[in-house]
Structure 1
Amino acid sequence: MNYPLLRTIDSPADLRRLPRTELVKLAGELRAYVLDTLSNSKVGGHLGSNLGTVELTVALHYVFNTPEDRLVWDVGHQTYPHKVLTGRREQLATIRHLGGISGFPRRDESPYDTFGTGHSSTSISAAHGMAMAAKIKGEDRRAVAIIGDGSMTAGMAFEALNNAGVPHGGLLGNMLVILNDNDMSISPPVGALNKYLARLMSGNFYSSAREGAKSVLKNTPLYEFARRFEEHTKGMVVPGTIFEEFGFNYVGPIDGHDLDALIPTLENLRAKKGPQFLHVVTKKGQGYKLAEADPVKYHAAPGKFDPAVGFVKSTTPAKTTFTQIFGEWLCDMAEQDLRLVGITPAMREGSGMVDFHKRFPTRYHDVGIAEQHAVTFAAGLACEGLKPVVAIYSTFLQRAYDQLIHDVALQNLPVVFALDRAGLVGADGATHAGNYDIAFTRCIPNMALLTPADENECRQALFTAYQHKGPVTVRYPRGAGAGVAVEKEMTALAWGKGEIRRESGKPQARSAQEAPRIAILSFGTLLYTAMQAAEQLDATVANMRFVKPLDHAMVAELARTHDAFVTLEDGCVMGGAGSAVMEAMQAAGFNLPVLQLGLPDEYIEHGDVPSLMASLGLDASGIEQSILKRFGARPSLVRPAANQ
């Protein structure tokens, strides 16, 4: 397909010059272009959500004077059409690739990306800030937050609504919140009556009549009666009473794929002052029948596929992922212990809890996109003698840090946190990377932290954590590991103890001209990469298993028998596991040189994980070269004294 109309659009200004009659055709080409591009992508991307926002995106850029008017896309995984219409059409093929454009909005990528997003439920707060900034600066522009019904389950969205709907210092921001309801979870399917009411309630006649009635009835006994009658009458037809109570003028629901309904409604709302709320109903995967029929499966495209056939399972047997290991362990553990309760903040599929949900429905709790509630809910369960397991992405646990400290750790409650997507996550980039959990959990009193090296050790680490009588985190990466066979029997690891996986030549067998005796202390799945580097350097390799409690005895023994340490982790170096080793050495009186290898103090770009790790020097060759560069070929065989 040549996309003749779409190829004339290099900016929203080009879009706004089109006659209204051409917009339906443009939307059709835009949808086909997104589908065609993703079906030819090596790394895939979000599919269903982007197909569902085509008409809404066209209408927004047609009505609003972007980028002067600010569009803030919540989460941002529905912004591919937005990127195409804002000068990045030819770059869409590079989305999520190393060196390509991001799968989420980024302020440094385009002036049309007014706010960087990736985590949910932030859009209303950001748009409110932008709207108030315009008022304070005396600028006449609008701010629009586009938020999904899933994101509205988070408390932050309602905190923003509560704040945005009331004047501050006499100022009320000109903002529009668009609720993109793509699951019909709030309202029934829309029809002609809803479309008519939306246009009526967003238009001047309704507003003038409403304000006129207010002025006539004000200061009379009938005013309050009329206000309540209007609310309840409107509430019988549309589900907007709650948003009206927040101080927003509610309009909708309307069909989010009907440009003849969207455009005049948005035009009316753009002309209004103060906080406005528009409820649109869209369909995930709109226009692509396979995605419409199975929106969960087609939420994201895994890579290249034939649009006529859809996603086809590979004939090559896939390695077992860490997520699958967790899901299997959770079901096995639940069979043994009736106290186990599984909790997820809206990540049933992503966290591997589908089977658990089917087999143990009364012990499965999806709390929505509400990470703070998930953690404190788990704390409440633990107070009553149950054994909660919170399955949560590392990047999303950041959103519940206060609850982790105050509600769980301070009370030393036995909650297991299964941290999926620890370390780099690849194509999703910096917004989703789990780089910081080692640093931000190990500093919390009472918290324990396990870093299993492979699939079998992950299963045993989860079992070990479950037996612990305090809060504990088990972190593991996205995807598969080394391919180690998984033992069905669950056996607890020795608490706080690591193991030696490889031992270098004995110091007495070395001459003074040989390389120093190196000990690599590995935390997590980089163990197998460390083993490859160690073969070239004849280094000792310790699989530490625990960041907290750290195996102090092993650290001391290795310090007595080696010339230098290398710590290795797929988390941030600052405050990470390597820092824990250095603290332990200092406390014991050792003064060995230490090379800390891990993720640097910067946000890592999106791209495939092997390429990213190689660029950071965390592949086998990079580790070897870093060690040689730091310690060279000549040893320092004078061992420092240690406090005994």
Structure 2
Amino acid sequence: MTSEAQADVVPEALRRLSPKALREAGTAELDALAVAARQLVVDSTARNGGHLGPNLGVVELTFALHRVFDSPHDILLWDTGHQSYIHKMVTGRAEGFPALRTRDGLAGYPSRAESDHDWVENSHAGTSLSYAAGLAAGFGAGSGRQVVAVIGDGALTAGMAMEALNDIAERQLDVVVVLNDNGRSYAPTTGAVALALAELRGRGRTYDADWHGLRYVGPVDGHDVPALEAALTRARDHRGPVVVHVVTRKGLGYPPAENDPVDHLHGVAPFDPATGAPPPTAGDRVAAGAVLSDTLCRAAAEDERIVVVAAAMTSASGLDPFARAFPDRIVDVGIAEQHAVTYAAGLAMTGRRPVVVIHSTFLGRAFDQLMFDVGLHRLPVVVVSDRAGITGGDGPSHHGLLDIALFRHVPGAVIGEPSDTGTFTAMLREALDGSGPVLLRHNRALPRAESGPRPVGRWSWDGSDDADVLLITAGPLDALGPDVGRRLAAHGHRTGRARAHWIRPVDPALAERAARHRLVVTLEDHFADGGLGSEVLEHLSAEGCPTPVLRLGVPHGYLTHGQVPVLHRETGLDAEGVTHSVLGALERG
């Protein structure tokens, strides 16, 4: 579809929408705009995937914010940012929604390159209040600029959010905190804060009161624009920090999302807009979360010490079957990755075998805990790094490209990356029998395959030992090996292959085998610096092997959003790009 044709999909009322036009709209026009905005969210996410439920739930709230505050003079911060689609429409970007999350299309999160209305691009939860504190302090009292942070009740469980709220109240910074309370992050929000908010929601009245340095206004119906405007206006005119407690319904206006019991269609792949149902999965691929949950269920039935720890991503990581089978052996600590890891360390100290499941992009938040709370004590904690590698439409802060580099710094840690369902099962079993920290990283879907045991440090070797090139692959890029081998053969170069199931430790035969080749090539869905290639290079250097190493991976930088095959092609991680890089290295000698 051409960009001109795509624009025709967007209603004229949304194409000419702006903050000024929104402020001038009457009640009937606002209602019509809300319907049109929700339909555009459904249509765009049905085509390209994205965050459906959260954006359907903040339509009226976004309208009210832009009617009360003067963005971009006033700063609107969207914690996490996945709920910023309506904000983008209001600020003149509705025409771009048919290409949402595609290469060169609109980002699925706020983007400073797109608009002056977008201040923060980091899409990790719990950060908005710290940004708000710094902005308010930097502008100073009396600047005439309002700083507004919209944060969900799920994100409020993040320790960083509580740290910032504590500081904002103590220093009486002019910050408006809009608490978007829908009772959920992905799953229902957990913990004492969630219980307190639920109690406030259930009292049936609105409060306007001071509480230890914070002005509290709420709860307010998040779908009643006049009520929202009244509460936000009071907050705008107040000096000092204000919390406006807004109650919204995730998925509102689209029955499949409203009725979805798991997460109200929080984050979706392309789907049928008539039903909300996703297309059938390709028969040769299986959701990695399903393999994870099935393997853990079987292992837990045999070993009562196994406990699973999640950080608000139980459903997103495929753990619902485990939660149903072993409800007393899974703990969701909320958006609290640091706590999750050290909690697991404590469990391990009592003889339990904890498995911590965290999205790869969020693992960096717990590095200190991995390094010192788990690593220093040599505790048998298994960390499963979900959605590793290039992830696609969610962009720079959601690609999982750092987990190997981080975990390689943990002394004595074992790191693995399965390439198919069979190796994942075998390697997870191996990890559960380990005596120290283990990281297993995986992509969202895996090809079906059978596998025997995968002992730590043992690779699979194919081809001749005296070939020109030794191609070492890991994870999803294993699949490129045969095609690259054929392409190099067409140029007269024979290729041997090694499938590096375990990245650390490497196979003890590596140095001897590498010495028989002209070139060693490593190929990984991770930054080229710090991953498998670095592990191989450092090992061969320590062993005195003279064979040069070509490390192929994602270039070090902030990779944009786009379809995964497109991004692999642009980073040279498809068969054609890999072949070109290898031939160039061979020519250079």
Scaled by the length of structure 2, what TM-score is found? Answer: 0.91
Contact map agreement 1:498 1:554 (CA 8 A) in 2: no
User: Which residue in 2 is equivalent to 1:567?
Assistant: 522
**How has the CA–CA distance of structure 1 residues 479 and 38 changed in structure 2, closer, same or farther, with 3 Å as cutoff?**
same
**How has the CA–CA distance of structure 1 residues 436 and 503 changed in structure 2, closer, same or farther, with 3 Å as cutoff?**
same
User: Which residue in 2 is equivalent to 1:250?
Assistant: 216
1:605, CA displacement in angstroms? 1.3
User: Which residue in 2 is equivalent to 1:500?
Assistant: 461
| Distance of 2:40 and 2:548 partners within structure 1 | 55
**How has the CA–CA distance of structure 1 residues 4 and 570 changed in structure 2, closer, same or farther, with 3 Å as cutoff?**
closer
| Distance of 1:100 and 1:427 partners within structure 2 | 10
User: Which residue in 1 is equivalent to 2:14?
Assistant: 6
**How has the CA–CA distance of structure 1 residues 64 and 480 changed in structure 2, closer, same or farther, with 3 Å as cutoff?**
same
**How has the CA–CA distance of structure 1 residues 265 and 38 changed in structure 2, closer, same or farther, with 3 Å as cutoff?**
same
| Distance of 2:392 and 2:398 partners within structure 1 | 9
User: Which residue in 2 is equivalent to 1:163?
Assistant: 167
**How has the CA–CA distance of structure 1 residues 183 and 191 changed in structure 2, closer, same or farther, with 3 Å as cutoff?**
closer
**How has the CA–CA distance of structure 1 residues 582 and 33 changed in structure 2, closer, same or farther, with 3 Å as cutoff?**
closer
Match of 2:308 among 310, 319, 342: 342
Q: Which one has the largest radius of gyration? A: 1
| Distance of 1:495 and 1:63 partners within structure 2 | 59
**How has the CA–CA distance of structure 1 residues 384 and 430 changed in structure 2, closer, same or farther, with 3 Å as cutoff?**
same
SS at match of 2:102: coil
Structure 2 unaligned blocks of 5 or more: 1-8, 185-193, 489-493
User: Which residue in 2 is equivalent to 1:600?
Assistant: 555
Contact map agreement 2:43 2:273 (CA 8 A) in 1: no
| Distance of 1:390 and 1:94 partners within structure 2 | 35
| Distance of 1:526 and 1:303 partners within structure 2 | 24
User: Which residue in 2 is equivalent to 1:530?
Assistant: 481
Alignment coverage as a number of residue pairs: 564
User: Which residue in 1 is equivalent to 2:3?
Assistant: none
Q: Deviations over 1:530-578 (max 9, x none)?
A: 2221233220111122221122x32211232111111111111112221
Match of 1:589 among 541, 544, 554: 544
Report matched runs for 1:279-290 at 5 Å: 279-290=245-256
| Distance of 2:406 and 2:138 partners within structure 1 | 33
Contact map agreement 2:250 2:264 (CA 8 A) in 1: no
CA RMSD, Structure 1 to Structure 2 (Å): 2.1
SS at match of 2:316: coil
User: Which residue in 2 is equivalent to 1:323?
Assistant: 289
Structure 1 unaligned blocks of 5 or more: 202-233, 235-240, 508-516, 637-644
**How has the CA–CA distance of structure 1 residues 622 and 183 changed in structure 2, closer, same or farther, with 3 Å as cutoff?**
same
User: Which residue in 1 is equivalent to 2:198?
Assistant: 187
User: Which residue in 1 is equivalent to 2:143?
Assistant: 139
| Distance of 1:272 and 1:315 partners within structure 2 | 52
**How has the CA–CA distance of structure 1 residues 145 and 2 changed in structure 2, closer, same or farther, with 3 Å as cutoff?**
closer
Contact map agreement 2:221 2:227 (CA 8 A) in 1: yes
| Distance of 1:322 and 1:191 partners within structure 2 | 39
The one-letter amino acid of 1:283's match is R
Report matched runs for 1:50-61 at 5 Å: 50-61=55-66
1:252, CA displacement in angstroms? 0.3
1:316, CA displacement in angstroms? 6.2
| Distance of 2:539 and 2:44 partners within structure 1 | 52
Q: Deviations over 1:20-61 (max 9, x none)?
A: 66433332332233223333x1x2111111010000000000
Contact map agreement 1:345 1:366 (CA 8 A) in 2: yes
Contact map agreement 1:24 1:259 (CA 8 A) in 2: no
SS at match of 2:515: helix
**How has the CA–CA distance of structure 1 residues 492 and 319 changed in structure 2, closer, same or farther, with 3 Å as cutoff?**
closer
Scaled by the length of structure 1, what TM-score is found? Answer: 0.84
Report matched runs for 1:239-318 at 5 Å: 244-245=211-212, 247-294=213-260, 296-307=263-274, 309-311=275-277, 314=280, 317=283
1:4, CA displacement in angstroms? 5.2
User: Which residue in 2 is equivalent to 1:476?
Assistant: 442
The one-letter amino acid of 2:53's match is G
Contact map agreement 1:449 1:548 (CA 8 A) in 2: yes
SS at match of 2:472: strand
| Distance of 1:356 and 1:535 partners within structure 2 | 42
| Distance of 1:533 and 1:55 partners within structure 2 | 52
1:188, CA displacement in angstroms? 5.7
| Distance of 2:585 and 2:515 partners within structure 1 | 20
1:192, CA displacement in angstroms? 11
Q: Note if 1:540 corresponds to 2:491.
A: no
Report matched runs for 1:389-400 at 5 Å: 389-400=355-366
SS at match of 2:476: coil
User: Which residue in 2 is equivalent to 1:129?
Assistant: 134
| Distance of 2:414 and 2:371 partners within structure 1 | 12
SS at match of 1:177: strand
Match of 1:18 among 18, 25, 34: 25
| Distance of 1:437 and 1:193 partners within structure 2 | 46
Contact map agreement 2:15 2:95 (CA 8 A) in 1: no
1:498, CA displacement in angstroms? 1.7
**How has the CA–CA distance of structure 1 residues 500 and 65 changed in structure 2, closer, same or farther, with 3 Å as cutoff?**
same
**How has the CA–CA distance of structure 1 residues 297 and 320 changed in structure 2, closer, same or farther, with 3 Å as cutoff?**
farther
Percentage of pairs with the same residue: 41
Contact map agreement 1:187 1:253 (CA 8 A) in 2: no
Q: Deviations over 1:140-196 (max 9, x none)?
A: 1111111111111111111011001122xxxx42110011111285236969963xx
| Distance of 2:62 and 2:28 partners within structure 1 | 16
Report matched runs for 1:326-405 at 5 Å: 326-405=292-371
SS at match of 1:526: helix
SS at match of 1:91: helix
Match of 2:81 among 76, 81, 85: 76
The one-letter amino acid of 2:367's match is Y
| Distance of 1:306 and 1:585 partners within structure 2 | 53
The one-letter amino acid of 1:546's match is W
| Distance of 2:39 and 2:514 partners within structure 1 | 61
| Distance of 1:33 and 1:526 partners within structure 2 | 35
**How has the CA–CA distance of structure 1 residues 267 and 361 changed in structure 2, closer, same or farther, with 3 Å as cutoff?**
same
| Distance of 2:304 and 2:241 partners within structure 1 | 49
SS at match of 1:180: strand
| Distance of 1:376 and 1:502 partners within structure 2 | 44
Match of 2:153 among 138, 146, 149: 149
Q: Note if 1:625 corresponds to 2:580.
A: yes
The one-letter amino acid of 2:391's match is V
SS at match of 2:372: helix
Contact map agreement 2:13 2:33 (CA 8 A) in 1: yes
User: Which residue in 2 is equivalent to 1:231?
Assistant: none
Q: Deviations over 1:374-418 (max 9, x none)?
A: 000000000000000011111111111110011000000000011
Q: Deviations over 1:107-152 (max 9, x none)?
A: 222111111131111111111111111107x621111111111111
Q: Note if 1:443 corresponds to 2:386.
A: no
1:338, CA displacement in angstroms? 0.5
**How has the CA–CA distance of structure 1 residues 453 and 2 changed in structure 2, closer, same or farther, with 3 Å as cutoff?**
closer
Q: Note if 1:177 corresponds to 2:185.
A: no
